[in-house]
Amino acid sequence: MVAPPDSVSTSVSTSVSKSVAAGATDTFAEDSDEALMLSYAAGRASAFDVLYARHKGGVYRYLLRHCGSAGTADELFQDVWMSAIRARERYTPTAKFSTWLYTLARHRLVDHWRANGQAKFVSIDDDGDQGTRATVEALPAARREEPDARAATRQLGEQLRAALDTLPAAQRDAFLLQHEGGLSLAEIGELTGVGMETVKSRLRYAVAKLRSELISLNPSQREEWR
Amino acid sequence: MSNLPDNPERDARINALWREHSTQLPSAALDAAILAAAHRAVDSQPMGSVPQDGDGNARNIATPVRAATRPQRWWMPLAAAATIGAIAIGVLQTVPQEQPDMAPAATITRPAPTLIPPQEMSAFVPAVPAPALPHAEADTAPPKTLGRLAATTHAAPQPFPAEKKNEAADAMTAQAPRAPAMDDARQRSTVAQDSPARDEVARGAPMASGAAVLAKSRASAESAPMKAVDVDATIMRIRKLHDDGKLGEAAKELLALRAVIPDADARLPPELRAWAATVKP
């Protein structure tokens, strides 16, 4: 559930005021993202440290899963945070900070794809069954049949990531925004510019396909996935 | 069945599997670069208080922060400009003061000639005019004292010519008081001969140039006979003092005459030349 923008703004402002009035710079760990961003805009660099630590993993994986290359992900990741740093004075807490941050990341991703002649988010409702199947089947059989349980778990994780890579961009985007960004359906809909039902549909398709692929790759675990 | 009943688009097992295996993080170098950039971006900003509105809520933080940092940014070039200006004024005030100090030093330290007031001169002037200097010489040759003064004045650097002339004239007047007639003649000739500023003005204004030329010729006509009379009268006085036995006073007069005329001994009567040879400064 997303708080209305006005209530977000008021609660964040009150939080910043209290924090500053108390002169407590060590209490950033308990502050909200929005309060941290306002504190950073006011000149408290340590607030950014806390904010960065909270969101660096999610943003990085969101970019990495979309572009598939660690080098490109590094470049885009740095650009996103530099954009956040530059935009600190314009930041107003009308919505959750994570929504604002992932919007920056998504815009940077779209710019990257456009620069490379790609348009990943155009066919947003393509379910992409063929691509998913081809990629999952390309995984090495020997690794899939690794007997060790720990290795099997790791293998399952790799299969999941490989299956995610084959999802249509819009479904993958919704999945990553939900799992890495922790955004709600409404926030994902606001960020991607579609309705909540569309977001639900994309997520439902994405999860179903991931399960299907994992079951097909691990027939012995079929009962566990049902 | 792992699907959540109220959230069918979520799968608990996929969630757990994703959480377990989605652990990639940016490199430490990337972290350091971004954090360093973030700290650099706010390093110049003071840790000011957050402005609040009437309800105690923080509002519009960025603008006061920029306003607070603005004075620290503009006072530095202003201070640099003020420093450069002060140095320039100091240099300009120092340079003109050095030049006038050098020029009058040569002029003022020279001993002023002892001239005879006209009342005294008339007493020594013989009834029959003594053989004077050739008229052409008196007309063409400027008075040597004034000529030297003029030469000195022209040779010296003159940032402020009018003031310098006045200073030199004042110094001469202070050292050696003269007869009013001599001073008038000297002033007129000084004005006519030695004032380049006035000459320039005269050249620039055709109406005034005629008057300047007239004044110049009048001054030279007046100063040349005066010079001849002075020399002759002084020689006569020296001879009288010598004949009266006042050799000390005669020697002083001779020294004064030498200061004005380098070949004063040659102009003395032959009977005085032997005595004059014994007079040393």
B2-56 confidence digits (pLDDT tens): 344 345 566 788 888 888 888 889 999 999 999 999 999 887 554 443 444 434 3
Out of A31-40, A123-132, B26-35, pick the least confident: A123-132
CA A225, CA A50: separation in Å to the nearest integer?
Answer: 38
Is a pLDDT exceeding 90 seen at residue B265? Answer: no
Q: Which residues make Cβ contacts (< 8 Å) with residue B222, sequence separation at least 6?
A: B185, B188, B189
Mean pLDDT in chain B? 62
- Quick: pLDDT tens for A72-90: 999 999 999 999 999 988 8
Distance between B86 CA and the closest CA of chain A, angstroms: 38
* A15 pLDDT above the threshold of 80: no
Looking at chain A, which residue has its C-alpha nearest residue B59?
Answer: A13
Among B10, B23, B37, whose Cβ lies nearest the Cβ of A85? Answer: B37
Q: How far is the C-alpha of A102 from the C-alpha of B193, rounded, in Å? A: 93
- Between B26, B42, B46, which is nearest A40 by CB? B42
Q: Which residue of chain B has the CA closest to A71?
A: B26
Task: Give the H or E element holding residue B256.
Answer: helix B247-260
Of A17, A64, A82, the CB nearest to B52: A17
Q: How confident is the model at residue A28 (pLDDT cuts 50, 70, 90)?
A: confident
Alpha helices in B52-61 (DSSP H): none
User: Which residue in the set A17, A207, A214 is minimally distant from B58, CB to CB?
Assistant: A17
DSSP state of A124: T
Q: What is the token pair recorded at A65?
A: 């899963």
Q: Cα separation of B198 and B281, whole Å?
A: 39
Q: Which two tokens stand for residue B111?
A: 């001993």
The pLDDT assigned to B172 comes to 44
CB of B28 less than 8 A from some CB of A: no
Nearest Cα neighbor of B199 from B146, B142, B154, B157 is B154
Distance of CA B219 to the CA centre of its chain: 31
From A13, A78, A86, residue closest to B34, measured CB to CB: A78
In chain A, which residue's Cα lies nearest the Cα of B1? A226
Residue A219 tokens read as: 């027939």
Work out the angle between the directed axes of helices A149-166 and A129-137 (0-180°, nearest 10): 150
Chain B contact set for A207 (CB, 8 A) = 9-11, 14
> Could you give phi then psi for residue A153, rounded to 5 degrees?
-65, -45
Global ipTM: 0.74
Task: Give Cβ neighbours of residue B19 (< 8 Å, ≥ 6 apart).
Answer: A179
Interface test with B, best of A19, A40, A48, A50 (most B CBs within 10 A): A48
How many CB atoms are located within 10 Å of the residue B275 CB? 15
Residue with tokens 């079929």: A222
User: Cα dist. A92→A2, B145, B271 in Å?
Assistant: 16, 91, 117
Among B20, B34, B58, beta carbon nearest to A52 = B34
* Contacting residues of A for B35, CB less than 8 Å apart: 48-49, 52
φ, ψ dihedrals at B210, nearest 5°: -60, -40
Burial A70-107 (b: 16+ CB within 10 A, else e): eebbbbbbbbbbbebbeebeebbbebbbbbbbbbbbbe
Q: Residue A172: which pLDDT band, with cuts at 50, 70 and 90?
A: very high
Question: To 10 degrees, what angle do helices A45-67 and A70-86 make?
Answer: 140
Helices (H), B10-61: 12-21, 28-43
- A96 pLDDT band (50/70/90 cuts)? confident
Closest residue, chain A, to B20 (C-alpha): A157
Look at the pTM and tell me if it is higher than 0.90. Answer: no
Q: What number is the average pLDDT over the span B196-210?
A: 44
Q: Side-chain half-sphere of A141: how many Cα atoms within 13 Å?
A: 1
d(CA A201, CA A178): 13
Nearest residue of B to residue A53, measured between CA atoms: B31
Q: What token pair was written down for A36?
A: 């941290």
Asked if B140 reaches chain A (Cβ–Cβ under 8 Å), the answer is: no
Q: Which residue has the higher pLDDT, B86 or B161?
A: B86
3-class DSSP assignment, residue B7: strand
Phi-psi region of B41 (alpha: psi -120 to 50; beta: other; left: phi over 0): alpha
User: CA–CA separation, A16 vs B256, rounded Å?
Assistant: 98
Place of tokens 């660099």: A45
Would you say A135 and A158 are in contact if contact means Cβ atoms under 8 Å apart? no
- Residue to mutate among B61, B63, B65, B66, with most A CBs inside 10 A, is B61
What distance in Å separates the CA atoms of residue B184 and residue B167, rounded to the nearest whole number? 17
Residue of chain A minimizing CA distance to B25 = A57
Q: Residue A20: CB partners within 8 Å, gap ≥ 6?
A: A39, A42, B49, B50, B58
Tokens 């039902």, located at residue:
A197
pLDDT in tens, B90-130: 898 887 665 555 544 444 445 545 555 555 555 554 444 44
Q: Which long-range contacts (CB under 8 A, 24 or more apart) does B89-97 make?
A: B96/B159, B96/B160
Q: Of B53, B221, B241, B196, give the one whose Cα is nearest residue B142.
A: B221
B51 touches chain A (CB under 8 A): no
- pLDDT value at residue A117: 77
Please say if the pLDDT value at position A120 is more than 90: no
- Residue/partner pairs of A196-201 with CB below 8 Å, 24 or more apart: A198/A125, A199/A174, A200/B9, A201/A125
Nearest CA in chain A to B33: A78
Contact B228, B256 (CB under 8 A): no
H helical segments located in chain A: 5-22, 33-41, 45-67, 70-86, 97-115, 129-137, 141-144, 149-166, 169-179, 185-192, 196-217, 222-225
B36 at interface of A, judged by CB pairs closer than 8 A: no
Q: What's the whole-number mean pLDDT along residues A23-45? A: 79
Q: Give the pLDDT confidence score for residue B254 in this predicted structure.
A: 87
Give the closest of B11, B31, B38 to A85, CB-based. Answer: B38
Average pLDDT over residues B183-210: 45
Q: Are B139 and B79 in contact (CB under 8 A)?
A: no
B61 to chain A: which residues are within 8 Å by CB?
38, 41-42, 89
